[in-house]
A and B are shown apart, each in its own frame.
Chain A
Amino acid sequence: MSVPAAFDYHPATSVDEAIALLQQYGDEAKLLAGGHSLIPAMKLRLSQPEHLIDIGKISSLSYIREEQDHIVIGGLTTYVQIEQSDLLRKHFPLLPEATSMVGDQQVRNRGTIGGSIAHSDPAADLPGVVLALKAEIVVQGPQGKRTIPADDFFVDTFTTALAPDEILIEFRLPKATGSTGSAYDKLANKASHYAIAGCAAVITRGQDGSCSAASIAITGATVRTIRARAVENALVGKQLSETVIAEAVSHATDGEDMIVDIHGSEEYRRKMAAVVARRAIMRALERI
């Protein structure tokens, strides 16, 4: 039966207060933001924190703004705010596009980007997007702020580079230079609507029309959220013909351990990762 185990509830009104509470309760505490991953896990008692620190009411962490050559997003910005942001649509259409595919309207109204990234569920959509966008992830702890590159952030399934007493507070997305397009494509399973395989693609084309930079991340298929380096390497420096792309995406999950469940076998997920990667790359190219 799904009701959570007993816990103490601590509403935090500031980041400093939340960090102090984290220091006080350590491993026994969990941060609550939108609650759309944590609360279901608690109801099924897969997660039984003794202390719940609610940071959901720290409104200063909810924003999307332009800062010189970055777009910055507060950790508690909701999916729906991202989905509807003109600024993001202009600079990183990939991000509102991926966000529009998360859950349903109710989930998007409550769920936050910081919560999703800190949860590090490989089936989720946004970790791959953050990777592909080479976000700098700003975290704050007792010693102040530090910035972690997205590439170093995702350690494993549900495991990140965040220290137990740190809070994810901001994403800094470097604005694209040159001719860049981005897209997210996903094959969703019909139960949870999480990805069987998803792909976030950011492609930059140089003066000669060849691919000068590529950033490709796979979601839903592999046991951890990954940059598909083999795909990127096979794209950069080439004129992106359909053949080149098809060959490149065939390496989408090379060497990675795959998620296997009733929604997709290992083989299917590998093939579908290639299919969604191809589609995301093609669409990113169209958007340049």
Chain B
Amino acid sequence: MGIAAMLGTPVKRREDPRLITGQATYVDDIKLLGMLHMTVLRSPYGHARINTINTDAARQLPGVVAVYTAQDIKGTVGNIPVAAPLPPHITSGMGRRLPLAEEKVRFYGDPVAIVIAENRYIARDALDLIDVDYEPLPVAIDVEKAMQPDSPILYEEFKTNVATSMHPSSEQIDKIFADTVANGGVIVKERFVNQRLAPSPMETRGVVAEYRKSDKALSLWSSSQIPHLLRNYLAIQLGLEQNQVRVIVPEVGGGFGCKLNIYPEEALASFAAMKTGRPVKWIEDRDENLAATIHGRDQVNYLEAAATRDGKVVGLKFHVISDMGSYLQFFTDVIAIAFTLPMLSGCYDIPNIYSSCDTVFTNKAPTDAYRGAGRPEATYMVERAMDVIANELKRDPAEIRLLNFVQPEQFPHTMATGALYDSGNYGAALEKALDIIAYDKLREEQKQKRAQGKLMGIGISSYVEMCGIGPKGTTPFGLYESARVRIEQSGTVIVYTGTSPHGQGEETTFAQIVGNALSIPQEKVLVLHGDTDSTPEGRGTYGSRTTSVGGSAVFQATERLKEKMKTIAASMLEASASDIELEDEKFTVAGSPQKSVPFKKVAAAANTSNTLPPGIEPGLETTVFFEPEACTFPFGTHICVVEVDQDTGEPEITRYVAVDDCGKQLNPLIVAGQVHGGIAQGVGQAMYEEVVYNEDGQLLTSTFMDYAMPIAPELPHFELGHTVTPTNVNPLGVKGVGEAGTIGSTPAVAAAIADALGVAHIDMPLKSEKLWRIIHKQ
């Protein structure tokens, strides 16, 4: 492969050999001398008052070193951090918590006490010896019931479970709706439940904490997406200086947003290490992961849509209810408000969008970012709305979409929601998807199958998402990204990124960016991440931001060094820096190909300094912080074909086409991988996954025997296509693709299954019994 072609080519992921040969180091592989093990006692109740906790028997078990409850950590360990608390109640402490429950437990799995022991078996045995006297309380499980005045209240002093309630005047939208009706248009209404999901990364959470008392140095290994934010907030929680805390994120086996968080166990293991003077490890079990790691989605949404008879949508009115669960985690309170509401116009040029929103506490695990984080909910609502409208008007869903898309020449375009979309060509992506799947022929086939009594359905979803967070002011801590690039004497390169890739393949992508910019093989570039002591302050990996924001920092830092090398090369070649070109690993004077100096030689000159011209600082190292001025808006269209078994109601996906536009593709192999995984996860929500609590607040889906994850044999072959619409909000022209598959797929599958059954809408997950009941009108 020519070096020039390096960017945009399907370079195999350099991460994979170590991952698939078992040589990667995860948190559980960290074993320190004298290390103790921590287990967590969790609430078996959804809501209960803690009268007393007796830990005497547990403490006396041989091998137990310590048992701690809220009383032990109070005053020493601060509350769980919240990134962007919202007024009014939240600033006054509603939803805030210590890492261990104090007076009440508020969800099944709420941490109550920790045991520190010589090994995890003893630590587990000791949990059974802790005697907690609970007084069970009535629970608030159903979010809409939780909003009623007679509901059990999680935070009694606030007399309500509703945290933030945004209900702007709807006078204007109501008038538009009335006018639409008066002019012969249609109004459709629907209620959507976006069910609660468990992120379920293959590697659960895990922590190792080590504390050196002599100089107050805390090292924390954690399976996290955000090493620096974790370091910064943990320092506050523990009363340490930032530079006394070092967070190391080794290999991470998947996050999907659930590791974009600061959890009780991180502070608890640190506290225990500080108290006992020995390293402490905690590895989360799967049942803990399903119960006590954050959940995703969980919104109830009401839609009203107004459209003209000929299918032009004139207004959408949404009410969004966000079920936050029991406590505020890092982004719990802003998922709906900051990520769902701005995206409620989808790909469509709709002049009037109204949204109201309530965020509500219930006796369930906290919800927070999960792959897509608020945007899948918006896309699902908007796409279901387009289908409900198409259904009402007896129009083809593709046609309704094409009729309402924002047109390519309108970009950059400010939507009625206030979101500023950078670039797009929604019609092209849809047309391409229709083309790949041979849509007209497919509808013919559907007619024939229906005539034979077969339940075939076709679903279309055109999505747009908001990626690359984020511009200044989005969070209190700023959402820039950093890169330190060092070119070594030998001409090899080390990149230290502030992002924290955990499966996305940016070690490969970033090497491609650097290799391409410096005209050296990407193999000569090493990409390091995840250690706060060696990487510059960064914000981590989530929200499809790593390449667009972090990659841009890498690119700019590399360009800066390239300029410096050109100056050095110019002096070595006795030419002007502006005449120096870099190609094929050598610097050449433009127009004089015989006058060149190898890349390596310039790198050596810079690093050894003796031959440098005066005024040039030795070394080749620089750090860049890149802060994007706007978000990127990747988009695409997914089409799903299903057949539903008449007798059992079981749905099967028979074809799946995805056309995604993530701007420029730096590595199409990695893009395809992200799309594949994303679709699988979105299909999981549409067809299988649901966290279920019973009416007493007990978690019914506490193991994979009951929580259904999609598995490979259930998924079809994915037929992928792409369009490329670059963005100018970053120097690479990339938009992000980490969440696209998840966002695009769920509505496509839901639409296909509703279409198969000939109904406008069915709530997810679309499991066989539910569909069987509709087919047989049971």
- A residues at B contact (CB < 8 Å): 1-3, 5-6, 44, 104, 187, 189-192, 194, 196, 261-265, 267-268, 271-272, 275
> Is the Cβ of B286 less than 8 Å from the Cβ of A2?
yes
> Is the Cβ of B706 less than 8 Å from the Cβ of A187?
no
> Is the Cβ of A1 less than 8 Å from the Cβ of B287?
yes
> Is the Cβ of A191 less than 8 Å from the Cβ of B285?
no
Most buried by A among B700, B701, B708: B708
Q: Which residues of B contact A265 (CB under 8 A)?
A: 769
Flag whether B688 is at the interface (Cβ < 8 A): yes
Q: What is the CA–CA distance of A190 and B707 in the complex, to the nearest angstrom?
A: 8
Q: Which residues of A contact B15 (CB under 8 A)?
A: none
> Is the Cβ of B121 less than 8 Å from the Cβ of A6?
yes
Interface 1/0 per residue, B697-710 and A, CB below 8 Å:
00011011111111
- B residues at A contact (CB < 8 Å): 39-40, 120-121, 123-125, 127, 285-288, 647-648, 650, 687-688, 692, 700-701, 703-711, 714, 767-769, 772-773, 778
Sample (18) of A-B pairs whose CB atoms are under 8 Å apart: A1-B39, A1-B40, A2-B287, A3-B120, A3-B124, A5-B125, A104-B711, A187-B648, A187-B650, A189-B708, A190-B688, A191-B707, A191-B708, A191-B709, A192-B706, A194-B705, A268-B772, A275-B648
Q: What is the CA–CA distance of A272 and B648 in the complex, to the nearest angstrom?
A: 7
Q: What is the CA–CA distance of A218 and B649 in the complex, to the nearest angstrom?
A: 20
Q: What is the CA–CA distance of A275 and B647 in the complex, to the nearest angstrom?
A: 7
Q: List the 5 closest A-B pairs by CB distance, nearest first.
A: A191-B708, A190-B708, A192-B705, A268-B769, A275-B647
CB distance from B62 to the nearest CB of A (A): 12
Of the candidates B124, B701, B704, B778, which one forms a contact with A267 in the assembled complex, judged by CB atoms under 8 Å apart? B778
CB distance from B112 to the nearest CB of A (A): 13
Q: Closest chain B residue to A3 by CB distance? A: B124
Q: What is the CA–CA distance of A190 and B650 in the complex, to the nearest angstrom?
A: 10
A265-B769, A267-B778 known; A1+B706 contact, CB < 8 A: no
> Is the Cβ of A191 less than 8 Å from the Cβ of B769?
no
Q: Which residues of A contact B687 (CB under 8 A)?
A: 190
> Is the Cβ of B704 less than 8 Å from the Cβ of A192?
yes
> Is the Cβ of A3 less than 8 Å from the Cβ of B121?
yes
> Is the Cβ of A190 less than 8 Å from the Cβ of B767?
yes
Q: What is the CA–CA distance of A3 and B692 in the complex, to the nearest angstrom?
A: 24
Of the candidates A1, A187, A261, A271, which one forms a contact with B285 in the assembled complex, judged by CB atoms under 8 Å apart? A1
> Is the Cβ of B647 less than 8 Å from the Cβ of A1?
no
Q: Closest chain A residue to B690 by CB distance? A: A262
CB distance from A245 to the nearest CB of B (A): 13
Q: Closest chain B residue to A276 by CB distance? A: B648
CB distance from A50 to the nearest CB of B (A): 14
Of the candidates A2, A191, A196, which one forms a contact with B706 in the assembled complex, judged by CB atoms under 8 Å apart? A191
Q: Which residues of A contact B705 (CB under 8 A)?
A: 191-192, 194
Q: Closest chain A residue to B42 by CB distance? A: A1
- Apart from A2-B285, A262-B700, list 12 A-B contacts with CB within 8 A: A1-B120, A1-B124, A6-B125, A44-B287, A190-B710, A191-B688, A262-B692, A263-B706, A263-B767, A264-B769, A265-B769, A267-B778
Q: What is the CA–CA distance of A190 and B40 in the complex, to the nearest angstrom?
A: 30
Q: Closest chain B residue to A274 by CB distance? A: B647
Q: What is the CA–CA distance of A264 and B701 in the complex, to the nearest angstrom?
A: 14
CB distance from B61 to the nearest CB of A (A): 12
CB distance from A219 to the nearest CB of B (A): 15
CB distance from B81 to the nearest CB of A (A): 25
CB distance from A83 to the nearest CB of B (A): 15
Q: Which residues of A contact B125 (CB under 8 A)?
A: 5-6
Q: What is the CA–CA distance of A25 and B433 in the complex, to the nearest angstrom?
A: 66
Q: Which residues of A contact B711 (CB under 8 A)?
A: 104
CB distance from A89 to the nearest CB of B (A): 21
CB distance from A3 to the nearest CB of B (A): 5
Q: What is the CA–CA distance of A2 and B125 in the complex, to the nearest angstrom?
A: 11
Q: What is the CA–CA distance of A187 and B645 in the complex, to the nearest angstrom?
A: 11
Q: Which residues of B contact A187 (CB under 8 A)?
A: 648, 650, 768
Q: Which residues of B contact A194 (CB under 8 A)?
A: 705
CB distance from A199 to the nearest CB of B (A): 13
CB distance from A267 to the nearest CB of B (A): 7
Q: What is the CA–CA distance of A44 and B291 in the complex, to the nearest angstrom?
A: 14
Q: Which residues of A contact B703 (CB under 8 A)?
A: 44
Q: Closest chain B residue to A188 by CB distance? A: B650
Q: Which residues of A contact B650 (CB under 8 A)?
A: 187
Q: What is the CA–CA distance of A271 and B775 in the complex, to the nearest angstrom?
A: 13
Q: What is the CA–CA distance of A267 and B286 in the complex, to the nearest angstrom?
A: 32
Q: Which residues of A contact B707 (CB under 8 A)?
A: 191
Q: Closest chain A residue to B38 by CB distance? A: A1
Q: What is the CA–CA distance of A80 and B748 in the complex, to the nearest angstrom?
A: 38
CB distance from B207 to the nearest CB of A (A): 14
Q: What is the CA–CA distance of A6 and B62 in the complex, to the nearest angstrom?
A: 14
Most buried by A among B287, B769, B772: B769
Q: Which residues of B contact A267 (CB under 8 A)?
A: 778
Q: What is the CA–CA distance of A275 and B288 in the complex, to the nearest angstrom?
A: 37
Q: What is the CA–CA distance of A189 and B687 in the complex, to the nearest angstrom?
A: 12
CB distance from B132 to the nearest CB of A (A): 16
Q: What is the CA–CA distance of A263 and B690 in the complex, to the nearest angstrom?
A: 11
CB distance from A168 to the nearest CB of B (A): 24
CB distance from B309 to the nearest CB of A (A): 41
CB distance from B489 to the nearest CB of A (A): 49
Q: Closest chain B residue to A191 by CB distance? A: B708
Q: Which residues of B contact A104 (CB under 8 A)?
A: 711
Q: Which residues of B contact A3 (CB under 8 A)?
A: 120-121, 124
Q: Which residues of A contact B709 (CB under 8 A)?
A: 191
Q: Which residues of A contact B287 (CB under 8 A)?
A: 1-2, 44
Q: Which residues of B contact A196 (CB under 8 A)?
A: 768
Q: Which residues of B contact A275 (CB under 8 A)?
A: 647-648
> Is the Cβ of B121 less than 8 Å from the Cβ of A262?
no
Q: What is the CA–CA distance of A5 and B650 in the complex, to the nearest angstrom?
A: 40
Q: Which residues of A contact B120 (CB under 8 A)?
A: 1, 3
Q: What is the CA–CA distance of A44 and B706 in the complex, to the nearest angstrom?
A: 14
Q: What is the CA–CA distance of A87 and B149 in the complex, to the nearest angstrom?
A: 68
> Is the Cβ of A262 less than 8 Å from the Cβ of B40?
no
> Is the Cβ of A262 less than 8 Å from the Cβ of B127?
no
Q: What is the CA–CA distance of A196 and B706 in the complex, to the nearest angstrom?
A: 12
Q: Which residues of B contact A191 (CB under 8 A)?
A: 688, 701, 704-709
Q: Which residues of A contact B708 (CB under 8 A)?
A: 189-191
Q: Which residues of A contact B286 (CB under 8 A)?
A: 2
> Is the Cβ of A190 less than 8 Å from the Cβ of B778?
no
Q: Which residues of B contact A271 (CB under 8 A)?
A: 772
CB distance from A137 to the nearest CB of B (A): 27
CB distance from B293 to the nearest CB of A (A): 14
Q: Which residues of A contact B121 (CB under 8 A)?
A: 3, 6
Of the candidates B288, B688, B701, B768, which one forms a contact with A1 in the assembled complex, judged by CB atoms under 8 Å apart? B288
Q: Closest chain B residue to A189 by CB distance? A: B708
Q: What is the CA–CA distance of A272 and B127 in the complex, to the nearest angstrom?
A: 42
Q: What is the CA–CA distance of A261 and B692 in the complex, to the nearest angstrom?
A: 11
Q: Closest chain A residue to B773 by CB distance? A: A268
Q: Which residues of B contact A5 (CB under 8 A)?
A: 125
Q: What is the CA–CA distance of A265 and B767 in the complex, to the nearest angstrom?
A: 12
Q: Which residues of A contact B647 (CB under 8 A)?
A: 275
Q: Closest chain A residue to B713 by CB distance? A: A104
Q: What is the CA–CA distance of A271 and B778 in the complex, to the nearest angstrom?
A: 11
Most buried by A among B120, B648, B707: B648
